[in-house]
Amino acid sequence: MIASLFAGLLFFLFPTLVGRTFIRLLNKKRTLAHPFVTYFISGSLLTYAVTVIVYYVAQYAKIQIGFEYLFAGVIALLSFIFIPANFVIEKFDLKIKQLLLPTLASFATALLTTLLWRVKSPHPLNWDIYEHQTLTNNILDGRFSFFSSQVTDTFGFNGYSTLFHTLLAASQTFFSVSVFDYWNSVSFVHLGIVCLASYLLAKEVTGSRAVGYISMLLGGLIFDSTISFTNLFLIPQTFTALVFILLFTQLIRSLKKGKTVSLPFLFLGSIFLLLNHYIVGSIAFFFYLGTYLYFRFQNFFTPKIDRKYAMAIGIIITSIAIGASCFLPLGFINKGEGEAFVLTFADKWDVIRQSYSLLPLIFFPIGVYTIIKRKTELALYTLDTTLALTALVLFQLPYVMKFFVLDKYFFGVILAVGLYTILNRIKNIILKYIGYAALIFTLIFVFVLNSANWKQILIYKNTQSHVGENEIKAARFLQEEYSNSNAMVVSDPSTQYILETLSGVNSQGGAYMDHPAREELNSISQEVDPNIIADSLFDIKDKVNSDSDTRLFVLSGRYFVWQNQSEKNKQDLSFNIWHTADLTETNKEYINTLIAENSRFRLVFQNETLAIVEVKMPDSGLK
Amino acid sequence: MKKIIQSLFFTLLLLILLGISMLGSISPRQISATAGSFQIAPFKNGLSLFQNSRGKYYTLSPFNDYELYKDGSRSSFITSEEIQNQTFTQDSDKNYVQKLTQSFKDYFGKNSESITFTSANKIINYKTVVNANHVHIERTITFENSSTERILGMTLSFQGNDFVYDTKGNLFTYIPNSQIESFNKNSGVSLSANLDFLQIALLDKKVFIVNPDLAGVIGVKGHPDQIVRINRDAKIIEVEDVVKPENGTTYTTSFDIYLFESPQEGFMGL
């Protein structure tokens, strides 16, 4: 457990320490605002660049050493050279005065949020950890590529490079981690940094620590629980947003000090954002570069543009464009999972209400009014950015809600200003405390109801989780017996998704099982001949990894619930059986009949939740 | 003084605005208490035991519960006319604010559920208290005016394809032989069909229900002074006893349900 928790911390710490040495070697004199973000980015990019180069050189030169050993060598080399050098090159200046209290408060907020979130939920609730850990497992097993879809078929398309997974793999290289402990650890640190980033952004923009702390509370306790998942889930889009906010804050702080971020650093930051998520990263890059250019050439813009007119014209054009977006013939991009993510205005309002309740309706306008009235350039610019990002989210296009992952931080600043506008008028210290206590209680209330809503479909026995103990035991069995074989798990999308990650035994696409495989699995439900069922299992093939002569047919309670769904649901990539289900008498009878009637089926594991049946290829060899 | 008044005003304003903000929260569709692998929640017709996404309900309902008269006739607590004319109310539809505050409390643990039906001349309340896999069910009925002993029955509905059996392995529902054999093989218990009766009272007051499409076993246990009867015709388990009124008009009855993982565990545990 300790190793897993430490590995989780290393995800952030290792690149930061490597990057610090790297930056200090290249750039001894220059002082940076919030340097830790630059250290982290440069360390990450250095690690990734060396990994990619080593991989492709080894491929080209046909080096006969497994990539897993080369990767471990890269991480070991970077660790031994760059980490100790930190203590030699320059003394650590932790800026304790400035950052100690906000950091402690951020992690206290993260702890409160985590404790509330984990009520009745012993395991991480981030469904995406399974696919990211599967890719990480593949890297650690020696399968690597710049493109995620070439490493594992769990990734049907390339939405980002494998930078994120290389960092995950780097932190797990020398530790035998428990998947859940590791993700609990890394997610907690991520949440703490999200709270800190919320504080830093608000503080830099408004100059007020109090607004910073309110923004921190909003950053932790407001969970955007649909599509964007900014604070509680560490995934490439949320990671991109976090780094973007830290870069944005760094830029603002540098400008306030009368300096600019140098072009190489700007370039490194931009590359990181783009590699980490092509779509969210592009938008983040646009705003990052835009902010840099705006303030760099502010003297050129300011006298020529009247902000009021620019804003009015912007709002009119954007409103027309948002309205028109409903009528654009964009059906061709509304495919697959995307179809499930086209939300109407009413849906979006429900999403906001679920996450924030009515806080934005009341305090956002007060925040906007205060900022406009005060006429501070940075705050006005932040307001413009918030409105632009919010407009982007309002477009009737698939996936645009993902951009809320960037917007949430700015939205939080405006809300925090709105809340502070009233809190600041309370001069009596006791009443002020009552005001802050009421705010914290309100946020806890909203968060708890949001969590209760989110978790209500995950009930299994006395827990709310995606995974049950019997599935964990089954995964452990698979890991011990089959992880070194080329056997492939076949089951419903959710079961194989979870088992592949926890056991390391391959499956066809995990939860993103492709359509032909879904059709094949569906056909099994109507079939009674065990030989045809066995043949069908071998018609389900992994297109990335080599085929095997053994299928592990996992007949879980979920599998049978999935088989009872409509054809439409079975083909829908966004539909899953989200909670564990135990086997029923009918299920057990089916399993008994299957194994009794054919020698190709051999029961190797069974508990109340699932049975694992080993199925062998007929003597004729691979199909 | 001016400062204090200003502070008070803005504190009050903030509290009101935050209060209004909270009212916009969306409460979960349903928060249920969990017992073993089952959940319990109130529905329009009573309190039901069920399993997530499997669509089968085992219900305690005043539509099925009954009073037995001395002449042998019986009537349900809410009659078909009352159902047809909707001349009764039930409180599972709480108002919005109650729902929000209840949902907030339930998030941290819910070990009880209740529902109250009010008809023209009686108030019927069902309350369950859950402790791990044990559910204690208590029903109180308040009649408008009454002071005599009454014979009252509580019921739990079951499904047509359920295995309903006693502790001796007598199976009282019609199940094809092949399924019984398979059940015996899978579960390690030995059931044999006993279809001589449409209704049968069980001496040891214990009965098991297994649905082939649900996981787990429902065990019903009555008190020694109660009659526990399987009514195959109406597909209900009846728990009947003679009840004396408390405070002249209120009658309280209770029985227990245990939820087991397997039939074998049921035999050992009930």
Q: What residues 150-179 of chain B have any CB closer than 8 A to a CB of chain A?
A: 163, 179
Residue of A461, A561, A563, A582 to mutate for B, most B C-beta atoms under 10 A: A461
**Number of Cβ pairs closer than 8 Å across A and B?**
155
Q: Which of A432, A577, A582 is closest, CB to CB, to B216?
A: A582
Structural contact between residues A197 and A403, judged by C-beta atoms closer than 8 angstroms: no
Q: What is the pLDDT of residues A34-58, one digit of tens each?
A: 889 999 999 999 999 999 999 999 9
Which residue in B210, B201, B195 sits closest to B240, CA to CA? B201
Q: Do B212 and A586 touch (CB under 8 A)?
A: yes
Structural contact between residues A78 and A46, judged by C-beta atoms closer than 8 angstroms: yes
Contacts of B1 in chain A (CB under 8 A): none
Instruction: Give the integer Cα–Cα distance in Å for A175 and A199.
Output: 33
Chain A: residue whose CA lies nearest to B10: A426
Q: Do B103 and A449 touch (CB under 8 A)?
A: yes
- What pLDDT is attached to residue B93? 67
pLDDT over 80 (residue A339): no
- Measured in angstroms, the CA of A106 and the nearest CA of chain B are apart by 23
pLDDT over 80 (residue A526): yes
Q: Which of B21, B26, B107 is closest, CB to CB, to A442?
A: B21
pLDDT over 70 (residue A466): yes
pLDDT over 90 (residue A64): no
Q: What is the pLDDT of residues A269-296, one digit of tens each?
A: 999 999 999 999 999 999 999 999 988 8
- What pLDDT is attached to residue A312? 77
pLDDT over 60 (residue A542): yes
The helix-helix angle for A377-394 and A345-356 (nearest 10°) equals 130
Predicted confidence band at A623 (pLDDT cuts at 50, 70, 90)? Answer: very low
Residue of A426, A460, A597, A608 to mutate for B, most B C-beta atoms under 10 A: A426
Q: Does B3 touch chain A (CB under 8 A)?
A: yes
Chain B: residue whose CA lies nearest to A557: B215
Contacts of B52 in chain A (CB under 8 A): 457, 459-460, 579, 581
Amino acid letter, residue B185: K
What residues of chain B score a pLDDT lower than 70? 93
Predicted confidence band at A616 (pLDDT cuts at 50, 70, 90)? Answer: confident
Identify the three-state secondary structure at position B109. Answer: coil
The helix-helix angle for A359-374 and A377-394 (nearest 10°) equals 140
Predicted confidence band at A416 (pLDDT cuts at 50, 70, 90)? Answer: very high
- A392 DSSP assignment: H
pLDDT over 50 (residue A622): no
Q: Return mean pLDDT, chain A.
A: 90
- What pLDDT is attached to residue A30? 64
Q: Does B12 touch chain A (CB under 8 A)?
A: no
Burial B216-227 (b: 16+ CB within 10 A, else e): bbbbbbbeeebb
Q: Do B104 and A445 touch (CB under 8 A)?
A: yes
- Measured in angstroms, the CA of A457 and the nearest CA of chain B are apart by 8
CA distances from A517 to A514, A538, A556, A610, A615 (A): 5, 10, 18, 21, 17
Amino acid letter, residue A173: T
- What pLDDT is attached to residue A521? 93
Q: How many CB atoms lie within 10 A of CB A388?
A: 17
Q: Does B264 touch chain A (CB under 8 A)?
A: no
Instruction: Give the integer Cα–Cα distance in Å for A539 and B125.
Output: 57
B216 φ, ψ (degrees, to nearest 5): 100, 175
What does the H/E/C string look like for A196-233?
A: HHHHHHHHHHHCCHHHHHHHHHHHHHCCCCCCCCCCCC
- DSSP bridge partners of A556: A610
Range with top average pLDDT, A301-315, A339-353, B63-77: B63-77
Instruction: Give the integer Cα–Cα distance in Å for A47 and A14.
Output: 10
Q: Do A425 and B7 touch (CB under 8 A)?
A: yes
Radius of gyration of the CA atoms of chain A, in A: 26
Q: Which of A449, A561, A582 is closest, CB to CB, to B25?
A: A449
Instruction: Give the integer Cα–Cα distance in Å for B132 and B24.
Output: 34
Alpha helices (runs of H) in chain B, residue ranges in sequence order: 2-23, 80-85, 96-107, 177-187, 263-269
pLDDT over 50 (residue A224): yes
Q: Does B211 touch chain A (CB under 8 A)?
A: yes
Instruction: Give the integer Cα–Cα distance in Å for A207 and A446.
Output: 28
Contacts of A422 in chain B (CB under 8 A): 10, 13-14, 17
Q: Which of B6, B31, B215 is closest, CB to CB, to A557?
A: B215
Contacts of B34 in chain A (CB under 8 A): 459, 461-462
Which residue in A370, A383, A372, A377 sits closest to A424, CA to CA? A370
- What pLDDT is attached to residue A311? 75
Amino acid letter, residue A188: F
- Measured in angstroms, the CA of B164 and the nearest CA of chain A are apart by 14
- Measured in angstroms, the CA of A73 and the nearest CA of chain B are apart by 47
- What pLDDT is attached to residue A599? 78
Q: Does B8 touch chain A (CB under 8 A)?
A: yes
**Where is average pLDDT lowest: A138-147, A482-491, A539-548, B9-18?**
A539-548
Instruction: Give the integer Cα–Cα distance in Å for A540 and A555.
Output: 16
Q: Which of A350, A431, A460 is closest, CB to CB, to B11?
A: A431
pLDDT over 60 (residue A621): no
Chain A: residue whose CA lies nearest to B20: A358
Amino acid letter, residue A456: Q
Predicted confidence band at A331 (pLDDT cuts at 50, 70, 90)? Answer: low
Read off the pLDDT of each residue in A552-559 and give the average, rounded to a whole number: 96
More confident call, A396 vs A503: A503
pLDDT over 90 (residue A220): yes
Residue with tokens 């309740």: A357
Q: What is the pLDDT of residues A71-123, one digit of tens each?
A: 999 999 999 998 888 888 777 666 667 789 999 999 999 999 999 999 999 99
Q: Which of B29, B34, B186 is closest, CB to CB, to A462?
A: B34
Q: Does B214 touch chain A (CB under 8 A)?
A: yes
Q: Do A449 and B104 touch (CB under 8 A)?
A: yes
Instruction: Give the integer Cα–Cα distance in Å for A454 and A458.
Output: 8
Instruction: Give the integer Cα–Cα distance in Å for A24 and A90.
Output: 8
Residue of A584, A595, A606 to mutate for B, most B C-beta atoms under 10 A: A584
DSSP codes of every residue in A47-113: HHHHHHHHHHHHHHHT--S-HHHHHHHHHHHHHHHHHHHHHHHS-----HHHHHHHHHHHHHHHHHH
Q: Do A584 and B214 touch (CB under 8 A)?
A: yes
Which residue in B78, B80, B77, B57 sits closest to B68, CA to CA? B77
* Structure-block tokens of residue B41: 């929640």
- What pLDDT is attached to residue A329? 62
A416's CB contacts (< 8 A; 6+ apart) are A202, A206, A211, A212, A214, A215, A218, A367
- Measured in angstroms, the CA of A449 and the nearest CA of chain B are apart by 6
Q: Which of A354, A359, A434 is closest, CB to CB, to B21?
A: A359
Which residue in A562, A578, A558 sits closest to A125, CA to CA? A578
Sign, CA torsion A529/A535/A539/A544: positive
Instruction: Give the integer Cα–Cα distance in Å for A269 and A263.
Output: 10
CA distances from A119 to A113, A116, A436, A528 (A): 10, 6, 24, 43
Q: Do B7 and A585 touch (CB under 8 A)?
A: no
Instruction: Give the integer Cα–Cα distance in Å for A462 and A17.
Output: 42
Which residue in B186, B208, B226 sits closest to B270, CA to CA? B208
Structural contact between residues A496 and A576, judged by C-beta atoms closer than 8 angstroms: no
Chain B: residue whose CA lies nearest to A350: B26
Instruction: Give the integer Cα–Cα distance in Å for A189 and A106.
Output: 10
Residue with tokens 């923009």: A205
- Measured in angstroms, the CA of B59 and the nearest CA of chain A are apart by 19
